[in-house]
Amino acid sequence: MNQKFTDLVDRARTAVIVKDDGGYCVYANRGEEDLRGVLPGALIGKHITELVDADPTLVEREFERFKRERNWVGQYRTHDSAGNPVRLHTCNFVHREWDGTALYASFAYLLGSHTGPGRDGPVQLANTGLTAEDVCTAQLCLDGYSDDELAVLFGVSLDTANDLVARFIDGIGAGSRTEACIRALKAGLVV
């Protein structure tokens, strides 16, 4: 994996896991390992069906959908290091390596009991006018990533990253990146 990419996800404020085209973990940051209570490197090689507390057929179907649509925003249940059930809000996107290899990144945010019961599965975005890609961009902007860093995370050019941010800002009807992040947060699209 690209060193700039791994440097960014190593210091992410949340749990990050990266899967290959087959759904096997090729990278997990310390936040992901801490969440699951495993030693460094213990998640490498695990299949997505081993990481989510759901019907494996459903998990694989949603992963295939993610690969087709290139982004997936939603919630799912798993368990923490003590075996307690936890619910995560995730932003999933494709990271392109320099050679064109697609890797599937998931930024997961722990949802507390104050967030309400919610619904597992993909977030319904039809009423917002925003796409899953827009919401992933919004979440990463809220997390403080610059356009340069977004370009590295997505594995795209800086111009493409600039366009993604501009589309998110315009799509939510804001005049600035800050206003757009606040609107996305108030709308419950990001955490």
SS3 breakdown of the chain: % helix, strand, coil, rounded to 5?
40, 25, 35
Q: What is the pLDDT of residues 37-82, one digit of tens each?
A: 889 999 999 999 998 888 899 999 999 999 999 999 988 888 777 7
Can you tell me whether residue 149 is helix, strand or coil?
Answer: helix
State how far the Cα of 132 lies from the Cα of 79, in Å rounded to an integer: 25
Q: Is the pLDDT of residue 177 over 70?
A: yes
Q: What is the pLDDT of residue 147?
A: 97
Per domain, the residue ranges of the chain are 1-122, 124-191
CATH class of the structural domain 124-191: mainly alpha
Mean pLDDT, residues 156-179 taken together? 96
Q: What is the pLDDT of residue 91?
A: 94
Q: Which residues pair with 114 in a beta bridge?
A: none
Using only the alpha carbons of the chain, give its radius of gyration.
Answer: 16
pTM: 0.87
Q: What is the pLDDT of residue 84?
A: 82
Strand order in the sheet with 85-96: 25-28, 15-19, 102-111, 85-96, 71-79, 121-122
Cβ atoms within 10 Å, residue 39: 7
Q: What is the pLDDT of residues 79-131, one digit of tens each?
A: 777 778 888 899 999 999 999 999 999 999 988 744 443 455 445 544 668 89
Q: What is the pLDDT of residue 8?
A: 96
Q: What is the pLDDT of residue 126?
A: 47
Strands (E), the chain: 15-19, 25-28, 71-79, 85-96, 102-111, 121-122
CATH of domain 1-122: 3.30.450.20
Domains 1-122 and 124-191 share a fold: no
Q: What is the pLDDT of residue 112?
A: 73
Q: Which amino acid is at 61?
A: R
State how far the Cα of 166 lies from the Cα of 175, in Å rounded to an integer: 10
Q: What is the pLDDT of residue 166?
A: 97
Q: What is the pLDDT of residues 128-148, one digit of tens each?
A: 688 999 999 999 999 999 999
